[in-house]
Amino acid sequence: GNYCIFLPKFHCKLNPIEMYWGWVKYRFREIPKKTFQDAKDAAFKYLHTCPTEVIRCFINQSFCWMSAYQCRLTGKAAEWVVEDF
C-alpha cells in the first residue's frame, strides 16, 4: 500500500522535495547562462538528472528527522541524531 504523510509546507528538513529543489538550484547556479533559453535548458537538464540514489537519501534523511522529532528531540540533539545515521 501507499502512505500519505502530511508535512509542514516548505520545511527544509521534513520535506524531501525541498532538498531536491535545493540540489537542483545549486547545480543550476554552477553553470553560466547567457540567454533565457540557456537558463531554461539548464533548468530542465538538472530537473531530470538528479540520481535516484540521491533522492532516496533525501527521503531517508527526512524520515530520520521525523523520527527524531517523534522522540521529542529538539535543536542540537535532533541534529546530532540525524547526522549520526
Q: What is the pLDDT of residue 69?
A: 86
Amino acid 85: pLDDT: 64
Q: For 40-84, what is each residue's pLDDT tens digit?
A: 999 999 999 999 999 999 999 998 888 888 898 888 888 888 886
Structure confidence at residue 36 (pLDDT): 96
Domain count across the chain: 1
Expressed as residue numbers, the domain containing 40 is 16-84
Q: Which residues of 48-70 are buried (b: 16+ CB within 10 A; e: fewer)?
A: eeeeeeeeeebeebbebbeebee
Tell whether 9 is covered by a domain: no
Please state the pTM of the whole predicted model.
Answer: 0.76
**Does residue 10 belong to any structural domain of this protein?**
no
Residue 32 lies in a domain: yes
Residue 2 is assigned to a structural domain of this protein: no
**52 lies in some domain:** yes
What CA–CA distance (Å, rounded) separates 17 from 73?
23
Residue 6 is assigned to a structural domain of this protein: no
In a domain? residue 8: no
Confidence category of residue 19, pLDDT binned at 50, 70, 90:
very high
Query: Looking at the domain assignment, is residue 54 inside a domain?
Result: yes
Is the model's pLDDT at 33 over the cut of 90?
yes
